[in-house]
Amino acid sequence: MRPQGSSGSTEHTTTALVAFAAFLSYACGGCLSNEYVIPKTELARLASLPPEQRGQNVRVVQSLGDRRSEAIDTSQPPPAPQGYAQDGYAPQGPPEGYVESGPQVGVGVGVMIAPIPPPLFPPPLVPPLPGQIGPRGPMGGVPGRAAPPRRPQGGHVGGFGGGGSSGKDDLVALLVVFAVLATVGMVATEGVRYDGAVAMYPWQGVHLKDAAGMEREVPLAQITPADVAATSEAVVMDDEGWGMMRLGRGPLDRRGFTWKMNIGLLHSSSANLVADGVAADLQLGYFPHRMFGLLADWSPAGGSDVNGNSFSRHHLALEAQFFPLGISRLHLGGFGHAGVVYANDDAGGTRHGSAFGGGGMLEISLTSRLALTLRFDYTSAKIAPGGQGWQGAETFTAGIAIY
């Protein structure tokens, strides 16, 4: 008999988790802003160029936040101001190593995706004079369970929580759903925000902020090395002045924090477990270099063996990834990990043991910060019944990497 009140408690827990999932989707969704940051090293490079050349190729990174208005259309470059050669203002092609920008998307509340008009430059009637740039605009179940019927042959691909209690099964499934929602939100913002080269009018206003938070607007053509030294952040707007023309995204850049999610199949043909199931890899980590990173990994898996007995596996590990080879959008790499596996099945009960493994993966870059992933992993864990032997399993998964 179900204990009195357990149903209501389960319902309340599920409701709270679903509400948290909705909040997580909203929090990770965000919006793509009208602001673009010029890295300080890029600002220093621009300050060393002749004024008429500064807008030809500018590296920018789009910010996350509120978009106050649509981007200005830039199908035609503006005329050069008096005293400068017209040729110095025509947008040039993307620098070597940059890739096609692809379709642009903007994001509203949550993860809704909508098209953004292409950027542009309406030509000015009179070139601005120093100091005339205007101010910046506003910005449940029953405890226990009956054993499943035995099956004469063939494994069954089940869910992540096989072998555990119903409450734990539901929790694992909900956590995976939350991870999917968060991943969708991050793909729609962090994954697709623009990181690459733009062309702009050299008299485009640049908002310079100092360490004290004070801000002033200076035309790109008039920025000096002294301005660069005093600046903590430089921002340009795609809805101000004559806008920005996107030339192309940069190549995949892994440096910094990363989130990866893969879902696929687990197969085990060891002496202790002949089974197939569903598996996932949820990873959070940091890449100090484009080719190398360290990630924390949680890999839940579950299913049924050839006799119809359910099982579950939860792998917690620290993983090192290395990508030594890149050809255009294709990136080949390998990884190794060490950790612990928690196992639960009808034959051996609940147990845990050390686990080691590794494998290979392929990434296909979509933007400077987003890639599709294919992954093969073999892990051996000391979880054979009785704790006297090792049990191996392979996983084949595919998913998304967000850098």
What's the CA gap between 142 and 227, in Å, rounded?
A: 69
Model pLDDT for residues 330-351, shown as the tens digit of each residue: 999 999 999 999 998 877 788 9
**Same structural domain, 38 and 116:** yes
Cα atoms in the Cβ-side hemisphere of radius 13 Å centred on 43: 28
Last residue of a domain, one of 201, 226, 250: 250
Same domain, 222 and 282: no
164 touches 210 (CB < 8 A):
no
278: in domain: yes
pLDDT exceeds 60 at position 124: no
- Full residue range of the structural domain in which residue 271 is found: 251-403
Where does a domain end: 197, 227, 250? 250
Q: Is the pLDDT higher at 19 or at 215?
A: 215
Do 258 and 187 belong to one domain? no
Q: Tell whether 1 is covered by a domain.
A: no
Q: Which structure tokens are listed for 260? A: 């990866």
Do 40 and 181 belong together in one domain?
yes
Q: Are residues 210 and 320 in the same domain?
A: no
| 300 shares a domain with 171 | no
The mean-pLDDT minimum among 112-116, 237-241, 302-306 falls in 112-116
- For residue 401, the model assigns a pLDDT of 96
Report, as an integer, the average pLDDT of 271-293: 92
- pLDDT band with cut points at 50, 70 and 90 for residue 2: very low
Helices 6-29 and 166-186 cross at an angle (nearest 10°) of: 10
State the average pLDDT for the chain. Answer: 77
Write down the pLDDT at residue 320: 98
User: Same structural domain for residues 182 and 140?
Assistant: yes
Alpha helices in 30-73 (DSSP H): 40-47
Structure confidence by residue, pLDDT tens digits, 233-262: 999 999 998 889 999 999 999 999 999 999
- 160-164, 233-237, 350-354, 355-359: lowest mean pLDDT where? 160-164
The widest CA-to-CA distance across the chain, in whole angstroms, is 90
User: In this predicted model, what pLDDT tens digit does every residue of 25-77 receive, in sequence order?
Assistant: 444 555 888 999 999 999 999 999 999 999 999 999 999 888 888 888 887 55
Query: What burial class does residue 380 get, using C-beta atoms within 10 Å of its C-beta: 0-12 exposed, 13-18 middle, 19+ buried?
Result: middle
Average pLDDT over every residue of 12-21: 51
**pTM: predicted TM-score of the whole model, two decimal places:** 0.66
Closest Cα to residue 162, out of 279, 43, 19, 327? Answer: 279
